[in-house]
Amino acid sequence: GQQVMQIPQYQHVQEGEDFTTYCNSSTTLSNIQWYKQRPGGHPVFLIQLVKSGEVKKQKRLTFQFGEAKKNSSLHITATQTTDVGTYFCAGAAAGGGADGLTFGKGTHLIIQP
Amino acid sequence: DAGVIQSPRHEVTEMGQEVTLRCKPISGHDYLFWYRQTMMRGLELLIYFNNNVPIDDSGMPEDRFSAKMPNASFSTLKIQPSEPRDSAVYFCASSYRTYGGRATEAFFGQGTRLTVV
């Protein structure tokens, strides 16, 4: 079945440093979504990427979708304490029929003030 | 809309007991998903429904797990009998179909933290 790998599992940064998490799928994706989960909370949708090579920005967050639609990344510039949480990518398989998302295991972002 | 509503928020039960988790999706959403989250396995898709019909239950771990969606506003996930390894946070999520026909982003409920002792 489809697998979505995400690295790193944990990332410690000093406040103000940049952060990047990477996502790779074993199969071609129709789209990829990114979610953020605060400690003790539930996943909250951030963005969806659909097109090959697509890049989207949300303030300090930059999301990329690979040309082959099998990988993606999330980059946060100048992290703040409010960025703490776990960032998940979630892929929907290409080819139609499967609407359930396969989530990566997430990257836990820990920020030291 | 109040969002996806799950109950109970916390459940502690003894091994062997039946557990029923409940979910009310966002009105108008035609997809409903059940996920399980553990530290070891992350977020796992258990089953999802489209228009109240189960589409893919390949993630349901064992026959002890069953899910129903009797109508568009209610779903249950039942574990019978429960075991300690079922301890996890169970999330329900709902989404809707786009103009192009694909399900869009998932809106998650607050989750049910299940502890089986």
Q: Is pLDDT above 90 for B104?
A: no
For residue B32 the two structure tokens come to 């409903």
Q: Which residue has the tokens 């499967």?
A: A98
Nearest to B56 among A41, A98, A105 (CB): A98
Spatial separation of the C-alpha atoms in residues B100 and B24, rounded to whole Å: 25
Spatial separation of the C-alpha atoms in residues A68 and A51, rounded to whole Å: 10
Alpha helices in B69-117 (DSSP H): none
Nearest to B103 among A99, A102, A105 (CB): A99
Give pLDDT, residue B99. Answer: 61
Chain A contact for B104 (CB, 8 A cutoff): yes
pLDDT > 70 fraction of chain A, expressed in percent and rounded: 93
Q: Is pLDDT above 70 for A97?
A: no
Q: Is pLDDT above 60 for A96?
A: no
The per-residue pLDDT for range B59-94, each reduced to its tens digit, is 998 899 999 999 999 999 999 999 999 999 999 999
